[in-house]
Structure 1
Amino acid sequence: MSGSTPFKMRFVHLDLKGAPPKVSYLSEIFPLFRALGANGLLIEYEDMFPYAGHLRLLQAKHAYSPSEVAEILRLAKLSELEVVPLVQTFGHMEFVLKHAAFAHLREVALFPNTLNPHEAESLALVEAMIDQVLELHKGARWLHIGCDEVYYLGEGEASRQWLRQEQNSQAKLCLSHVRAVASHVRARHPGTTPLVWDDMLRDVPPEQLAASGVPQLVEPVLWDYGADLDIPGKVLLMEKYRECGFPRLWAASAFKGATGPSQALSPVEHHLRNHVQWLQVAVGGPEDTLQGIILTGWQRYDHFSVLCELLPVGIPSLAACLQLLLHGGFAEHVKLRVENFLGVSGLGITDAVSEGAGSFPGGDIHALVTQVSLHLRSSVDALLERNRYVTGWFSPYHRRRKLIHPAMIQHVQPEVLSLLGRWSALAQQLEAALQLVFYPDAVEEWLEENVRPSLQRLQSLLQDLAEAAAPCLPTQAGVPIRGPEGPGPCGS
């Protein structure tokens, strides 16, 4: 299946810190992942893991149960997808450090991003998390321990004092914690190799990195999700890591969730370019250095941000990217293969829109979200801001004062009712489709962020119309209210 691709391992990242899919949906998409060319999964559980004991409070409301995790692993195995769990152990610890019970372990008291590496309790905490996760992932060849974007490191009081000592540096502080966490994994789970995101390692001087002991413990994952990679720079970075003693490296691209925190549709062309350039990096770098590539699919930028593209919406992008990796490019015959896998008649590359719903799992969600994203807000804007009857006779000035010419009601109200009816029906259809794939809180969040504000604008306009029209209603004698020169503004 892999052909001549330089990436023997192709792992799809499942980011569960937002809109985690139900296990029933995973059972549908795992075979598709495999058919498209994936042979592994990187599962970032975050608060969806069934932590126990003193870690139980980390669980989200709809966290998977131990039996559901076992079922996910069984389904993955059926589709020949190797599973690598991911546990954040340094940065992006919001889901842990937001809790009062662990807030004292923050690097900076105000921010829940980063763990304080000076506290012995900090290391004990992440070791307990790792042990619980690996207890349910026995035999895992790799464990990703995160360690990316360790914001505010060195800014806590304990760190400030430590950094005042001669020969101490932020890089040394970072490497020390990574080494401690990775050493625990190696000692307690000897068959498991830790992976780390590489951004905190990039600027560390080579001699310091080589002497830290970290290269013997972890495999870095070089990540870049842009459409314009610095290919020579990436090759040089790979060479630096090899010279520092890292025997194996990984790449990380993105198929969704990397082009804006509130992005609703995946720009396929952007992600295809990202993968084309990663292929060029792989070919230009040291031979047989890259273990594989992780196709990330972020669901939130961090624990507190909004949802970006839902997983079903990103499937066409994922399909295109996996097939590109397998075939070394995205020629017309590769595009046709992707369309055949997805059951679509036309795969949108430049406009992020595929024709029709497609027959892939979640294809109906993809189609409905596309309609909402492209047309809902714009259609409401057109009515409220460009309809001549609304802007001319029922402007914000009129609405606040409940004034309207009676003749204008018949020009405005039917249009509002028609638009509201059409979008309300589609919203109900979308809500039903989302409920089959996601848990109630995710459905509620996506609709509240992306659908309801526009519907509420229409409902508010109708309410204002009704209140403005009330004085225009016929009197008991059946005669409309009139001014001295015919119908006047209602409410005057």
Structure 2
Amino acid sequence: MSSSTPFKMRLVHLDLKGAPPKVSYLSEVFPLFHALGANGLLIEYEDMFPYEGHLRLLRAKHAYSPSEVTEILRLARLSELEVVPLVQTFGHMEFVLKHAAFAHLREVALFPNTLNPHEAESLALVQAMIDQILELHRDVRWLHIGCDEVYYLGEGETSKQWLQQEQNSHSKLCLSHMQAVASHVLTQHPGVTPLVWDDMLRDIPPEQLKASGVPQLVEPVLWDYGADLDVHGKIFLIGKYQECGFQRLWAASAFKGATGASQALPPVEHHIRNHELWLQVAGSGPVDALQGIILTGWQRYDHFSVLCELLPVGIPSLAACLQSLVHGGFAEDVRLRVERFLGVSSLEITDTVSSVDTLLERNRYVTGWFSPYHRRRKLVHPVMIQHIQPEALSLLSRWNQLVQQLEAALQLAFYPDAIEEWMEENVLPSTQRLQALLQDLGEAAAQQPPPTSPGWDTGQNP
């Protein structure tokens, strides 16, 4: 594949902390990733990694087995995708710190977000996680150790006492933990370089960054998922990091999962614009400053949030973004090429109002003669039953068919718990509203007086 992109490495992010794909599905999409221009994967295992020993309780119900991880790596090699595993080691530690066995290692006792960096057991914990992951990823060149969004750092009781000492600061606390984790990777796993998200580094003064030794240990990943990315600001930040001694830098964009915690469909044009701006950064900044870009595809905002766009519906956006990187932009010929490749007429999927919403909120018979007021009191004009009930029954039948089709499609890619969650969040509310309407309508109809007909005794004398 000819390439005019300044990004030599193009990694697709697989966020497995929500709706993790079956291995059989990955076997189908890895060749697609490669064909679209990817040459690597950032795999964020979280609770899908088959931890052993005292870490075994971290496993999700459908966690991959060691043999499945080995198969994922084999499939990646077949599609010429270099794998970079990611394990959180500081912030976003909910999948670990939610467990009672590790709750004492929280920075703030009430919140499972952040690890307490003062505890020796905290460092031992993340070291054990790293060692187990690298045991199954023996030939990797990079390990991403997270370290983004370390919320509440410095707010724990031990940290508050530590920060009272004059020479100590939040920045020093953050850098010292990064330094300890990265040093473990480099000393125990020679040849593996740690990557870190850069948000906790951005505002640290250059002199403090230099003095920490961290620039000699890690490669920062500058992330920005906005369609309004500040190109000049990013170029300035690259210069700052280089001045501090960071030898290699990475960028991170997004093809899904970055525009709303409950977003169902990715806004493709937003993500294309994000990549076009990153191309401007790479083209205007120091030559070869960014050795690669990670196309993030978040599946949850954090361990406890709802699912956002599923991977299958993110494929058109991913295709557009990868091809933008490969061809140096998203001109009309690139758009047409992507649409032909995917076999679609348009990359942007319209998020239309559901048919149930239309019936309940726009149908004049429902809104005018069977409002919530009428439904609570089981009041309905008899003729309105004939206007509302047939349409509602027909709609419920179509929804039931759709539910069966959706479940069958989802079963090809996902495990039962992910399907249950997605259906309960996105489909069941509509069917339940429709069923409730029909139930209320039936109860209201049952309270209608029986009709009279000729020949019945009406109480009048013959």
For Structure 1 versus Structure 2, the TM-score category normalised by the shorter chain is: over 0.9
Q: 1:215, 1:28 → 2: CA distance?
A: 39
Aligned counterpart, 2:57: 57
Aligned counterpart, 1:359: none
SS at match of 1:172: helix
1:381, CA displacement in angstroms? 2.3
* Aligned 8 A contact 2:378 2:447 in 1: no
SS at match of 2:118: coil
1:40, CA displacement in angstroms? 0.2
1:480, CA displacement in angstroms? 13
* Aligned 8 A contact 2:76 2:82 in 1: yes
1:424, CA displacement in angstroms? 1.9
* Aligned 8 A contact 1:473 1:481 in 2: no
Aligned counterpart, 1:452: 428
Q: 2:256, 2:87 → 1: CA distance?
A: 21
Q: 1:266, 1:312 → 2: CA distance?
A: 11
SS at match of 1:316: helix
Amino acid corresponding to residue 442 of structure 1 in structure 2 = A
1:392 aligns with 2:391: no
SS at match of 1:148: coil
1:443, CA displacement in angstroms? 0.5
* Aligned 8 A contact 1:402 1:468 in 2: yes
Aligned counterpart, 2:159: 159
Amino acid corresponding to residue 357 of structure 2 in structure 1 = D
* Inter-CA distance 50–479: structure 2 relative to 1 (3 Å threshold): farther
Q: 1:419, 1:137 → 2: CA distance?
A: 50
1:401, CA displacement in angstroms? 1.4
Q: 1:283, 1:154 → 2: CA distance?
A: 38
1:374 aligns with 2:373: no
Aligned counterpart, 1:340: 340
* Inter-CA distance 44–481: structure 2 relative to 1 (3 Å threshold): farther
Give the count of matched residue pairs.
459
Aligned counterpart, 1:80: 80
SS at match of 2:92: coil
Report percent identity of matched pairs.
81
Aligned counterpart, 2:7: 7
Q: 2:157, 2:386 → 1: CA distance?
A: 67
Aligned counterpart, 2:400: 424
SS at match of 1:50: coil
Amino acid corresponding to residue 75 of structure 1 in structure 2 = L
1:391, CA displacement in angstroms? 2.0
SS at match of 2:251: strand
1:392, CA displacement in angstroms? 2.2
1:385, CA displacement in angstroms? 2.2
Q: Deviations over 1:204-225 (max 9, x none)?
A: 0000001100001000000000
Runs of 4 or more consecutive aligned structure 1 residues displaced over 4 Å after TM superposition: 477-484
Aligned CA RMSD, in angstroms, stands at 1.8
Q: Deviations over 1:307-354 (max 9, x none)?
A: 00000000000000000101011112111221122122x123xxx31x
* Inter-CA distance 472–170: structure 2 relative to 1 (3 Å threshold): same
TM-score, normalised relative to structure 1 = 0.91
Q: 1:328, 1:454 → 2: CA distance?
A: 43
SS at match of 2:403: helix
Aligned counterpart, 1:319: 319
SS at match of 2:261: coil
Q: 1:481, 1:103 → 2: CA distance?
A: 76
Q: 1:288, 1:311 → 2: CA distance?
A: 31
Q: 2:232, 2:308 → 1: CA distance?
A: 31
- Structure 2, unpaired ranges of 5+: none
Q: 2:10, 2:274 → 1: CA distance?
A: 15
* Inter-CA distance 473–162: structure 2 relative to 1 (3 Å threshold): same
- Structure 1, unpaired ranges of 5+: 354-369, 485-492
TM-score, normalised relative to structure 2 = 0.97
1:44, CA displacement in angstroms? 0.1
* Aligned 8 A contact 1:256 1:309 in 2: yes
Q: Deviations over 1:81-115 (max 9, x none)?
A: 00000000000000000000000000000100000
Q: Which shifted more, 463-472 or 114-123?
A: 463-472
1:17, CA displacement in angstroms? 0.2
* Inter-CA distance 408–244: structure 2 relative to 1 (3 Å threshold): same
Superposed, which structure 2 residues align to 1:62-461 within 5 Å? 62-344=62-344, 346-348=345-347, 352-353=348-349, 373-376=351-354, 379-461=355-437
Q: 1:120, 1:101 → 2: CA distance?
A: 15
* Aligned 8 A contact 1:225 1:254 in 2: yes
Q: 1:249, 1:158 → 2: CA distance?
A: 33
